Amino acid sequence: MHGVLILDKPRGVSSAAAVNKVKKALRASRAGHGGTLDPMATGVLAVCLGAATKIAPYLLADDKEYEAEGMLGFETDTLDATGDVIATREVNVTREALEAAITARRGEQDQMPPMYSALKQQGQRLYRLARVGEVVERAVRRIRIDRLELVDFASPRFTVSIACSKGTYVRSLVADIGADVGAGAHLTALRRTRSGRFSIAQAVSLADVEAGTCDIAAALVAPRDAVDLPCVTVHGDQITTIRNGVQVPLDRMGAEGHERFQLVDDAGRMLAICHAHEGKVIYDRVLAELMTQSVLAMGAAADSDDDNP
C-alpha cells in the first residue's frame, strides 16, 4: 500500500496519534504525515503510507485553507481554547470595525510565532519552554494571507475563511485581529479545508478507516499525483540506472528544461524526485518499493515476450 490518504482528522486527536491509528487499521509498513494539525483542529491531514512517506517533506510547503472561529474578549497563553485565560476585556466591537481589521490583515506580513509552538530555539521546543514559564525572543516570519473573509459574527464569536501560505499560525492571526479591534481574542475552533492539492471533499473519516467501511483503494492518491512536480517518463535501462543511483545528463533522461521533477515509469509509478545540477540528474528521493515493482513488471513483460515470439 503506497500512496497518500486524505484524512478528516477529528478534534482531540494529535496528528501523530491519527497517523498511528491509520497505520494500525490498514496494517501499513510505514506511515507519516505531511503537515501537522493541532489536536483541537479538524480537517485535511495527508497521511503518507509505504513508499509515499518519502514524499512527505514535499507536502509541507503547500499553501493551506482554513475555517476558524475566534472569541473576542478573552486572551489565553496558548492563543487558543486549550490555554489559560490571561486577560479579559470588554467587547464593544461592531461588524464594520471587525471587517476593517480583517481586511487590513490580508497580504504579505510579518508574524510572530507563538511560544506554544513546535519551533525550536537553541535545540528546545518553544512549547516546552512555555510550559515552565519561559518566554524567549522569536524571529518573526514572513507569511502571506491570500484570502481572509468574515463568514459570521455573533459577538463575541466570529468565523473567518482563510487561504494562506505555509507556516501561518491561525491562532496568532486570530489573536492579532482581536488586538487590532482592542478586545483581544483567542481561537476556539479550526478546520483545515485544503492543504495543497488535497481538499476536504477527498477526505475519509478516521472512524470509517478503523471500521473498514471506506474504499481505501479508491481514496488513496498515488505519489505521482500528490506532488506538484512535472513528470518525466523513463523506460528500460534508465530504470536500472536510477536504481543504481547513477547520475546521468538531463538529456539522457529527457529532463531538459526542468529544475525539479519526478521520474515515473510507463505505468505511472513515481520512481524518484530529482533536481537538475550542472546538467545532470540528482536524485533527492528514490522510492525503492515502487522501483522494485517497476523492475519486476519489466521482467514479467520480458518473460511474456519470450513465451509469445
CA atoms within 13 A of residue 9's CA, in its CB half-sphere:
32
Per the listing, cell 539522457 goes with 252
Annotated catalytic residue, options 8, 38, 77, 265: 38
38 in catalytic set: yes
What lies within 8 Å, CB to CB, of 268 at 6+ separation is 222, 224
What cell was used for 93?
466591537
DSSP state letter for 249: B
Helix (H/G/I), strand (E/B), else coil: 22 = helix
DSSP string, 140-166: -EEEEEEEEEEEEEETTEEEEEEEE-T
What residues are paired with 270 via a beta bridge? 264
d(CA 216, CA 271): 22
**In 10 A of CB 275, how many CB atoms?**
15
d(CA 45, CA 267): 27
H helices within the chain, ranges in order?
15-26, 95-104, 126-131, 170-180, 206-211, 216-219, 223-226, 237-243, 250-253, 288-307
**In 10 A of CB 21, how many CB atoms?**
18
Catalytic residues, by residue number, are 38
